[in-house]
Structure 1
Amino acid sequence: MRTSPRRIGLLGGITWHSTLVYETLLHEGVAETLPGRTADLVIRHYDFGAIAAAQEAGEWDGLAATFGRDARWLVDGGAEAILICANTMHVIADEVEAAAQVPVINVIDETAAAIRAAGLSTVALLGTGFTMRMPFYRERLAAGGVEALVPDEPRLAEVHSLIYDKLARGVVEDEGRALTRKATAELVARGAGGVIAGCTEIPMVMTAEDVDVPYFDALALHAQAAVRFALED
């Protein structure tokens, strides 16, 4: 075990609420193993409004170029691995890793590993409309032996709206809690044995205490993997 943590680069601000949770979990995780020490981080924090507009316009190539350039900047600042602090932006994870030339710790891989360890193969996936509609997340889970079920329309659109119109702005309401629980219950009825909180804002309205099936907090699993990387020999 190392006596000082490796430096981790965060591509954050997607949203700022979740980036603060990442930072907290990383610091706490390092301190738990190395009392008196905290995580060694370098951070590129984005204006979420600009990111959201680019996502809506489908400017994924431009986002990949920006994130790749910024990841390289973090590496120049000493980062030995990169965390993309958002599930949706893992659509460009391979491009970011190619640009950075250091590992991008992938939230999908870490989530799939936790699901397999729990003995499950089919789970519900709640996230942004991009995460649920685009194939990248479900295909990478499938490569890890996990099938993900997503809501049908219009429920899918309702979850997406909850994330961008409410949670990304820090607005947490009972209606959001009811929606995520209802969406999860519908997917469990279709055969899901657990649920992935596949957006870093979902835990704002749904935690393990709110569901009757295994709950996989992708953000927490991602942060745990980063702590392991920071501390391993």
Structure 2
Amino acid sequence: MKKIGLIGGISWVSTSDYYTLINKGINDKLGGLNFSECLIYSFNYAEIKKNNDNNDWDSTFKMLLKAAEVLKSGGAEAIVLCANTMHLIADKLQNAIGLPLIHIAEETAVEIQKKQLKKVGLLGTKFTMELDFFKDKLTEKGIETIIPTSQEDKDFIHYTIFEELGRGIVTEETKKRYLEIANGLIQNGAEGIILGCTEIPLVIKEGDLSVPIFDTTLIHTQAAINFQLS
């Protein structure tokens, strides 16, 4: 089994899901007492959030590079960033660390292709929705991506990711609003909805919408499992 390094704490809630899903996935494949051989470097989320608020991606990159170096020194053969937004610097990090980085958007694009969809809606932080680092990976595969057009909707998603979901807080009111926003994207032609933040699966589940959902946490962890067993 190949050893992987998880960079988490962005947030601890989704990192816990990553650890659980990867270990269960390995056990499903191998049975017995077989589980994932992995290392975890978990950040204090407040430090990452402060950088984000100041648009200081250089400082965040230095933090992630240090984490990746620690994981590499511990024997990790690939890096998994346990957050969509951090993939803004994923390509740069992979080049600097000299290890494979299992890219969440690339893996999501593969799953969308399997369903032969051409237009999907993307929900995530403002960085994920408004910048191109995630959407470009889909465009390379001929997939069009749309995001909410209302600034109020984008602000709501961004706020609740950090102030509610990232703290493990889930309310029916927030779930209802997320579903309304997702259904608006479907009305605008989205054939599927990407849950482009690792906390959004807390409020949108399979069967909640009339189109397929692409849970990036599930997709990413399955890719990590496949790498470990390759």
Band the TM-score falls in, shorter-chain normalisation: over 0.9
For residue 171 of structure 2, what is the amino acid of its counterpart?
E
The 8 Å contact of residues 159 and 179 in structure 1, kept in 2 or not, is answered as no
Alignment of 1:205-216 (within 5 A): 205-216=203-214
Question: In the alignment, what sits opposite 2:147?
Answer: 150
Question: In the alignment, what sits opposite 2:194?
Answer: 196
Structure 2 distance, partners of 1:199, 1:228, is 21
The secondary structure found in structure 1 opposite 2:105 is helix
Question: In the alignment, what sits opposite 2:48?
Answer: 51
Structure 1 distance, partners of 2:173, 2:58, is 35
Question: In the alignment, what sits opposite 1:9?
Answer: 5
Structure 1 distance, partners of 2:124, 2:22, is 22
Question: In the alignment, what sits opposite 2:182?
Answer: 184
- Deviation, 1:129, is 1.1
For residue 64 of structure 1, what is the amino acid of its counterpart?
F
The 8 Å contact of residues 123 and 146 in structure 1, kept in 2 or not, is answered as yes
- Deviation, 1:69, is 2.1
The 8 Å contact of residues 8 and 80 in structure 1, kept in 2 or not, is answered as yes
The 8 Å contact of residues 68 and 97 in structure 1, kept in 2 or not, is answered as no
The 8 Å contact of residues 163 and 202 in structure 1, kept in 2 or not, is answered as yes
Structure 1 distance, partners of 2:79, 2:164, is 28
Question: In the alignment, what sits opposite 1:61?
Answer: 58
Number of paired residues?
228
Q: Deviations over 1:91-146 (max 9, x none)?
A: 00012111221100000000000001011011010001111111211122111221
For residue 94 of structure 2, what is the amino acid of its counterpart?
E
TM-score (norm 1): 0.96
For residue 47 of structure 1, what is the amino acid of its counterpart?
N
TM-score (norm 2): 0.97
The secondary structure found in structure 2 opposite 1:210 is coil
For residue 80 of structure 1, what is the amino acid of its counterpart?
E
Alignment of 1:23-102 (within 5 A): 23-35=19-31, 36-102=33-99
Identify which of 103, 110, 133 aligns with 1:113.
Answer: 110
The secondary structure found in structure 2 opposite 1:136 is coil
Q: Deviations over 1:55-94 (max 9, x none)?
A: 1110111111221121121011000000000000000001
The secondary structure found in structure 2 opposite 1:51 is helix
Q: Deviations over 1:138-167 (max 9, x none)?
A: 122111221111001121111111111111
- Does 2:125 correspond to 1:128? yes
Structure 2 distance, partners of 1:76, 1:99, is 14
Structure 2 distance, partners of 1:119, 1:225, is 19
- Does 2:17 correspond to 1:21? yes
The secondary structure found in structure 2 opposite 1:125 is strand
Question: In the alignment, what sits opposite 2:158?
Answer: 160
Q: Cα RMSD over matched residues?
A: 0.9
